[in-house]
Structure 1
Amino acid sequence: MSSAAPAQPAQDAQVRSDEQTDPSADANTTNSQLERDSDWSEHVVKTAAEPSPTTAAEAHLGARELSTMPRRTAEDFVELVPGFQSVQHGNEGKGHQFFVRGFDAVHGADVEVRLEGIPLNEPSNVHGNGYLDLAFLIPEAIVGVDARKGTFELRQGPFATAASLDFELGIPGWERGVRTLYEVGSTNRHRLAVTLAPEEGSRGTFAAAEALYDDGFGTNRQTRRAVAIARAHLAGDDELNLSALFAGYAADFGLPGTLRLTDVRDDAIGFYDAYSTDTAGASLRGLAALRLLAETSMGDIDAHVYGLGRRLELDENFTGQLLYPDRGDRRLQREDSWTAGGWARWSERLAATLRLSSLLEWRTVWASQSEDQLSPTGQVWQAARDLDFVEHLGAAGLSVDWSPLAWLRLDGGARLDVVGLDARDELAQASGEQWFVALSPRIAATFFAGLDWTFFAAYGRGLRPPEARAVVTPDDPQSENRDHTRYGGGEPELTRTDNAEIGVKWTPVRQLAVSLTGFGVWIERESVFDHVSGVNVELNATERYGLEAVLGWQPARWIDLAVSATAVEARFVDSGEPVPGAPRLMASARASLFHPDGWRAGLAARAIGVRPLAHGAQAAPLGIVDATLGYRWRWLQLDLQVENALGARWREGEYHYASWWDRSQARSQLPVIHYVAGTPRTVRATLSAWF
């Protein structure tokens, strides 16, 4: 579709206009001067008044909003997107659990995430299909987040069944130069970071590094990590740009698991304690990429080639000794993978009212994964998985952006996805190979009704590829009597999702935008994560219907306000029962202050309503407020971040399943509420200096 074209000029493609100018660089800067700054003026239009190009629900967060909001990792930025929420059922370093449009997307099964177009979801990951871990992205090096709900654009690929996100890297204009920051926190947090970005020349060039140690707020929540990320402009001019991106990441972290709510209420264990004190995880990642942006007589080209190396290790126990009373349910998951891929997007304006866009994309994943059952003290007593696989994901697409009338724009196209799986399970002595093909239409219409009203309508199909384990079949026909179910990865089929949306946006003045969106989502085979078995259980068809309302307002040049609310019903088609894990109501509010005199402040509030759980239970509603305050004077800046500012004692993640931890009690298969504690009030202070 039209959005598949390069969104920015080639020379400064990596940095949007709202990141070019520092309104606090000169304490004497006046509002009239800011009015005359075209970069700053364009930022106002983007954040407050410009209709989204495809749907009313599309959103962009710029560097100014991100820099004033509390954050520990890049995953905290997801909560700032209207209609998105995330919770953590592990620790900082393990992937979050995402909620959007009635989906419990677990660790990324239904939310596609890219880094400037590079896909980050890990297909067939040992911990969950589509697994995401964004801790390798340094918050100070993120200048934008693009969010698309539904699957309506040509660029949205596998795992974009509910939504997609794209992170943009760079250093905003007011933070360029050499910056060193040191952060300390009330959880014995110590973080040192350095960013380097030339004040002259290409604004796409930067480097950033960080080192972190944090004890965490409770038992077994320690975190250590080291990250380096850099991009260099290699060659080019206004019509052609070639750049290289590199990243390296290493982390280890405790994994406290969940607690039985009844044990906490009976004072058998503390609210922030853990049953296991030595379970932990480790993560390694390397990334290298080349990107070419070009404006030619044949159209605009955006091309990317990349390579990824990955190692993940998770030692967890969610059920105690329920499944294996004598030896314990603790498990150790490992995965090593390599990914090579690339994509190219081409766009050409054939006439004043007609643009043609196309894309080609391919990636191949080579992975080796294992899972071992451990005793409570960490000794291996049984191998549960030993799998090698190769997974291919390719796509080709074509779309047309046509404006036949001044008040009407039509986007229409289709995407052809190809998925190939070749897997070998050493435990089952079984292998398999299978290919899948899916054609996904994507159409949208935009009506410019005048009087500051814009109406939108869209339909699109998304997909989730099957796990590699799903194609494994026994090599030996004589082994048909063996039980292979524990090696299975579900049905070897693509999961398709149909999304439909209508919306309206009202912009009575440039500083105010109000949008209302109604949506429906139909998925043919629902997937629900089961904490007892540790796999995604495939169920029958579901449907979701909802409304989303968003208000954005800039009462002054240096203030951004936003409020959003999403209500959705997610139910199984046959039974009418609610889909477990999917919140019915979510709301958020944020206020961002970025004053020319150097003051910065942010307030972010979020709420999740009652959430249905498995077996008829419900998770309690929650509401959290975070705040920041900072001041910059010339080359020094001091920031204060307060997480959970009201000091709520809240259960961030809640689940309903059976477990057995107390050996003095009778073993029972009856499910009970388990939870992961949310952070108590924590305070972080950061001192930054520019050289």
Structure 2
Amino acid sequence: MRLARRLPHAVSIAAMLTGSAWAQESHLPEVEVRGPRDATIGSADSASEGAAEREVFQARPKLRPGDIIEAVPGVVATQHSGDGKANQYFLRGFNLDHGTDFSMKVDGMPVNMPTHGHGQGYADLNFLIPELVSGVSYRKGPYFADNSDFALAGSATIDYLSALDAPFAEVTFGSNDYRRLLAAGSRTVQDQTWLGAVELVGNDGPWDVPENLRKANALLRYSQGSPTRGFSITGMAYKSRWNATDQVPERLIASGELPRFGSLNATDGGESQRYSLSGKWFDRGQSGQTQVNVYAMAYRFDLFSDFTYFLNNPVNGDQFEQTDRRNVFGAEASHQMPNKLGALDGVLSFGAQWRGDRIGEVGLYDTEARQRLSTVRNDRVAQDLLSLYAQQALQFSERWRGYVGLRGDMLRYDVQGREPVHGPLNSGSGHDSQASPKAGLIFTLTPQHEFYLNAGTGFHSNDVRGATITLDPQTGLPADRVPALAKGNGSELGWRFQPNDDVMATVALWQLRLDSELVYVGDAGTTETGRASDRRGIEATLRWKLSNGLRLDVDAAYSRARFRGTPPEGEGNYVDNAVESVLATGITYIQGPWTGSLWLRYLGPRALDTLNTVRSRSNTLLNFGVRYAVNPHLTLGLDVFNLAGKKGNDIEYFYASCTAGEVASGACGAGIEDRHVHPMEPRSTRVSAKWTF
């Protein structure tokens, strides 16, 4: 029987068209612990949206906090530097660098950082405490009006619990001097709940230069209310510092001059801090839902990197420092209400969003052993993104439904250069705006089969320093400005098959056209705007509950990424480092005192240059985790990462570099082009003991 026949009419339409979004915000413990419901036939608006099952992503072994984003089908999260740095992300034909074109939110706050010191859209999830995550919901493509900046390839919303079943303390020890302490608990009196957590982490990693990661993390939340009306206030504090082993030339590893886990600069590394205060208020009922989010963040970042060694400066080396000092303020208000257009039932959603970044310093400096030698850029930036959106969903008949939406964004920015030579010439202010239409059509063939057609326009913002630049600060030559907002158009045809509550499969054919590609620049450790591009691909997922305690998950994706138009002399049309094939599959077992998980992830070869003359190697990773509840209080755990002991690489780039020895021998010339690799970690184990009070 269809959902519409089991619920009052107006509420049923709202549940069908916006159900997953309504489910994820409640503050009652029994709702939050379950997390958001996955998209199903009758509630989904596309084949590529959904919500990960909490028990499954919590059971998966996680080498780093950011690995939780791999709960989103088709996403790969790796690392090419120290564990205090944001992950490297791949999705839908993108090397997303550290987050561009993939929007992430944690507890209603955006994670991506525009005009960031290291890269546009930088999304650092290292402040995340995975055990507190109640749900991971996701969407692919620019098809929904409430998705903002960086959501061209997709978006993920990570929600935190408001209450725990019981307070607990957990200690973890592992290979390479890994140690972690997590203590968390909550207390509820009537409709008022306090939740607190503290996390301390240390890790040296397998690197010849110990990582010496030191991380402190804390969260405190107060929530009050009922499923229909309530609010919460959350404070978070995070601080970490680390040494980093960045990617190294493969030629040195092959010749034996450098160990596989060696470093060419022992002083690389960084520090990061993030402090936030946020609030949520909601009111929902049969007449509609209203929600308001507000947040404030203080963010500090210092990163020392060296990717080309002695290519540009044969005397002092090529190490550079990137800094970011900012305060972020934001607010979002939304309302959803059942309505009628003529004889058609529907749901109207509309809202407003504002984000303001006040960047006191975003800088780039030449350094040696973390000591500044000269200033390349030092800017003060203010930028505000104001957005309005509306989306109308309609039920046309028993089988047909759909939606249309429109989003408007206006970006205002001001750049004040403080480097004395080129800074004043690269200063300026301006604004850019864009209207983004969205639409979707859904056809329910049978109660087991549903088809989707989605299309929309979206955007990513560019680093606004590129919108005011006139001179290259390194060469002094004229530089071309870039638009502050870069548009993308996408569409998708999808199918969802759900014969019962135990099996669900989806297939999506998609394409995406970008007006401006962001390309990694190896010798600068950042990104720059590039040519327009086309991407297309196919994705498939399978969720199968084999028995009460056993579940199989399979995610497969293939994509093709090309630049548009005639390539410049000596270049081709392959988008370098664009992911092509991804396969993730796993078995999860939860029965009685046992919880087990075995996950395999395959990242296929990809072009490392625009001519496709150099390709990366494939990467296969197998992780295993098991938990055993000895009694109601004590749970023991074991995680084994890279179970098969593969010698793959987390990241590969192809560019020119030069070592001190190559300079001394006269072999450097204009640089030696080579693969530069950051190996994935070898087999390692972690054991844990959790005491529940």
TM-score, reference length from structure 2: 0.90
The equivalent of 1:628 in structure 2 is: 625
Aligned counterpart in structure 2 of residue 370 of structure 1, from 349, 360, 363: 363
Contact 1:228–1:249 (Cα < 8 Å) also in 2: yes
The equivalent of 1:88 in structure 2 is: 79
Displacement after TM superposition at 1:265 (Å): 0.7
The equivalent of 2:271 in structure 1 is: 282
The equivalent of 1:652 in structure 2 is: 650
The equivalent of 1:477 in structure 2 is: none
Output the CA distance in 2 between the equivalents of 1:205 and 1:283.
27
The equivalent of 1:681 in structure 2 is: 683
Contact 1:122–1:129 (Cα < 8 Å) also in 2: yes
Aligned counterpart in structure 2 of residue 542 of structure 1, from 533, 539, 542: 533
Displacement after TM superposition at 1:391 (Å): 0.8
The equivalent of 1:392 in structure 2 is: 384
Asked if residue 413 in structure 1 is aligned to residue 410 in structure 2, the reply is no
Displacement after TM superposition at 1:315 (Å): 0.7
Asked if residue 166 in structure 1 is aligned to residue 152 in structure 2, the reply is no
CA distance change for structure 1 residues 449 and 643 in 2, over 3 Å: closer, same or farther? same
Output the CA distance in 1 between the equivalents of 2:193 and 2:21.
15
Aligned counterpart in structure 2 of residue 606 of structure 1, from 591, 601, 605: 601
Q: Specify the code of the residue in structure 2 equivalent to 1:679.
A: E
Aligned counterpart in structure 2 of residue 527 of structure 1, from 518, 539, 558: 518
CA distance change for structure 1 residues 679 and 495 in 2, over 3 Å: closer, same or farther? same
Asked if residue 572 in structure 1 is aligned to residue 563 in structure 2, the reply is yes
Output the CA distance in 1 between the equivalents of 2:348 and 2:414.
35
Q: Specify the code of the residue in structure 2 equivalent to 1:125.
A: H
Asked if residue 560 in structure 1 is aligned to residue 557 in structure 2, the reply is no
Output the CA distance in 1 between the equivalents of 2:316 and 2:18.
54
The equivalent of 1:334 in structure 2 is: 323
Contact 2:27–2:226 (Cα < 8 Å) also in 1: no
Displacement after TM superposition at 1:566 (Å): 0.6
Displacement after TM superposition at 1:171 (Å): 6.5
Aligned counterpart in structure 1 of residue 196 of structure 2, from 207, 217, 224: 207
SS at match of 1:143: strand
CA distance change for structure 1 residues 483 and 198 in 2, over 3 Å: closer, same or farther? closer
CA distance change for structure 1 residues 459 and 48 in 2, over 3 Å: closer, same or farther? closer
Matches within 5 A, 1:104-123: 104-123=95-114
Moved more, 648-657 or 202-211: 202-211
Displacement after TM superposition at 1:535 (Å): 3.2
Moved more, 363-372 or 125-134: 363-372
Gaps of 5+ in 2: 1-13, 567-571
The equivalent of 1:185 in structure 2 is: 174
Asked if residue 619 in structure 1 is aligned to residue 634 in structure 2, the reply is no
Contact 1:195–1:209 (Cα < 8 Å) also in 2: yes
Asked if residue 226 in structure 1 is aligned to residue 216 in structure 2, the reply is yes
Output the CA distance in 2 between the equivalents of 1:67 and 1:109.
26
Q: Specify the code of the residue in structure 2 equivalent to 1:145.
A: V
The equivalent of 1:8 in structure 2 is: 23
SS at match of 2:125: coil
Aligned counterpart in structure 1 of residue 125 of structure 2, from 130, 134, 148: 134
- 1:230-274 per-residue CA deviation (whole Å, 9 max, x = no partner) reads 2211x4344310110110000001111111111101000100111
Output the CA distance in 1 between the equivalents of 2:82 and 2:473.
38
Output the CA distance in 2 between the equivalents of 1:246 and 1:345.
22
Q: Specify the code of the residue in structure 1 equivalent to 2:683.
A: R
Matches within 5 A, 1:410-449: 410-427=402-419, 428=422, 429-430=424-425, 431-449=427-445
CA distance change for structure 1 residues 9 and 93 in 2, over 3 Å: closer, same or farther? closer
Output the CA distance in 1 between the equivalents of 2:63 and 2:193.
24
Output the CA distance in 1 between the equivalents of 2:170 and 2:111.
28
SS at match of 1:271: coil
CA distance change for structure 1 residues 201 and 292 in 2, over 3 Å: closer, same or farther? same
CA distance change for structure 1 residues 456 and 496 in 2, over 3 Å: closer, same or farther? same
Contact 2:28–2:162 (Cα < 8 Å) also in 1: no
Displacement after TM superposition at 1:539 (Å): 1.9
Gaps of 5+ in 1: 21-42, 475-479
CA distance change for structure 1 residues 199 and 283 in 2, over 3 Å: closer, same or farther? same
Q: Specify the code of the residue in structure 2 equivalent to 1:622.
A: N
SS at match of 2:176: coil
Displacement after TM superposition at 1:219 (Å): 2.5
CA distance change for structure 1 residues 586 and 143 in 2, over 3 Å: closer, same or farther? same
- 1:611-653 per-residue CA deviation (whole Å, 9 max, x = no partner) reads 1112531110111100101111211101101110111111111
Contact 2:439–2:454 (Cα < 8 Å) also in 1: yes
Contact 2:365–2:372 (Cα < 8 Å) also in 1: yes
Aligned counterpart in structure 1 of residue 312 of structure 2, from 303, 320, 323: 323
Structure of higher RCO (CA pairs closer than 8 Å, 6+ residues apart): 1
Displacement after TM superposition at 1:489 (Å): 8.8
Output the CA distance in 2 between the equivalents of 1:549 and 1:153.
21
Output the CA distance in 2 between the equivalents of 1:101 and 1:482.
34
Output the CA distance in 2 between the equivalents of 1:52 and 1:673.
46
Output the CA distance in 2 between the equivalents of 1:643 and 1:313.
29
Displacement after TM superposition at 1:442 (Å): 1.0
Displacement after TM superposition at 1:222 (Å): 2.6
- 1:466-487 per-residue CA deviation (whole Å, 9 max, x = no partner) reads 212123357xxxxx89987689
- 1:92-136 per-residue CA deviation (whole Å, 9 max, x = no partner) reads 110111111101111111111011332111010010111011010
CA distance change for structure 1 residues 231 and 496 in 2, over 3 Å: closer, same or farther? same
Contact 2:191–2:225 (Cα < 8 Å) also in 1: no
Asked if residue 153 in structure 1 is aligned to residue 155 in structure 2, the reply is no
Aligned counterpart in structure 2 of residue 590 of structure 1, from 578, 586, 592: 586
Output the CA distance in 1 between the equivalents of 2:520 and 2:255.
28
Moved more, 487-496 or 573-582: 487-496
Percent of pairs identical after alignment? 22
CA distance change for structure 1 residues 361 and 490 in 2, over 3 Å: closer, same or farther? same
Displacement after TM superposition at 1:558 (Å): 2.2
Output the CA distance in 2 between the equivalents of 1:61 and 1:518.
21
Contact 1:585–1:608 (Cα < 8 Å) also in 2: yes
Contact 2:26–2:32 (Cα < 8 Å) also in 1: no
Cα RMSD, aligned residues only? 2.3
Q: Specify the code of the residue in structure 2 equivalent to 1:543.
A: D
The equivalent of 1:307 in structure 2 is: 296
Output the CA distance in 1 between the equivalents of 2:21 and 2:193.
15
Contact 2:33–2:134 (Cα < 8 Å) also in 1: no
Q: Specify the code of the residue in structure 1 equivalent to 2:608.
A: L
The equivalent of 1:257 in structure 2 is: 246
Displacement after TM superposition at 1:659 (Å): 0.7
Q: Specify the code of the residue in structure 1 equivalent to 2:507.
A: L
Q: Specify the code of the residue in structure 2 equivalent to 1:373.
A: D
The equivalent of 1:27 in structure 2 is: none
The equivalent of 2:134 in structure 1 is: 143
Q: Specify the code of the residue in structure 2 equivalent to 1:360.
A: A
Q: Specify the code of the residue in structure 1 equivalent to 2:674.
A: V
The equivalent of 1:33 in structure 2 is: none
